[in-house]
Amino acid sequence: QVTAFQGVAVRSLSTSSPHEHPEHGRLVYKGNLAKTVLGVRFFSYSTSIFNLFMMPYIMLKSGIGVESLFVQAAFYGVIGFFTFVTPVTLHVLTKGYVIRLYYKDEMDTYTAITYNAILAEKATVFRREDVKIPDITKMFTTFYAKTKSMLVNPTLFPNPQDYNHLMGYDKCSLFKLEELKEAEERK
């Protein structure tokens, strides 16, 4: 692999494809809303921090300290709601959004990359046996890995067999075919 860099040829001696991660394995899924989720959460956190730093100035200039206790409680309640509840709600709704999903063939393990509360990437390693599909379709859950809910878009898997293997659909059809064959043999 040769890459031109400002007119100079640079040779790269990489043995893995660009979709291979040395620790996690082969990239099988990449979420298209990763930057949007990160941007919305960062904006929410930054406005909350801005509110916390501006609150003393606003209270001093607005004279809210002179008003009645009821007005103070209502004012602090509204500001507190937008300062604390909004970022927490966004975190709860988007914590299971899978940014990238890797599969390691030799160990038969998946690694899901999500964002944690401080917007850093968090890796969750699980096996196919750990995947549970919810009985009732949930809004922000495609499957559970161990006990953690994960959200993926099935249409974003470049290879549909990877999604089928993750969800266990490849084994279900094989078992059903074997059961049908056994039922026919019994007749």
* pLDDT (tens digit per residue) in 142-161: 999 999 999 999 999 999 99
Lowest average pLDDT, out of 9-18, 33-42, 75-84, 169-178, goes to 9-18
CA distance linking residue 154 with residue 163, whole number of Å: 7
Q: What is the mean pLDDT of residues 22-51?
A: 93
Lowest average pLDDT, out of 100-104, 123-127, 156-160, 181-185, goes to 181-185
Task: Check residue 56 and give its pLDDT.
Answer: 79
Task: Check residue 88 and give its pLDDT.
Answer: 93
Q: pLDDT digits over 42-56, tens only? A: 999 999 999 888 887
Q: What is the mean pLDDT of residues 55-69?
A: 72
The model's pTM: 0.74
Distance from chain centroid for Cα 136: 20
Asked if the model's pLDDT at residue 65 lies above 90, the reply is no
Q: What residues pair up with 127 in beta bridges, in sequence order? A: 109
Asked if the model's pLDDT at residue 162 lies above 90, the reply is yes
CA distance linking residue 67 with residue 33, whole number of Å: 45
CA distance linking residue 114 with residue 175, whole number of Å: 33
Q: Cβ–Cβ contacts within 10 Å for residue 110, how many?
A: 26
- Output the DSSP codes for 123-149: EEEEEGGGEE--SS-BTTBSEEETTEE
Q: Give the residue, 72 or 100, on which the prediction is more confident.
A: 100
Q: Could you tell me the sign of the dihedral formed by the alpha carbons of 122, 127, 132, 133, in that order?
A: positive
Q: Give the residue, 66 or 42, on which the prediction is more confident.
A: 42
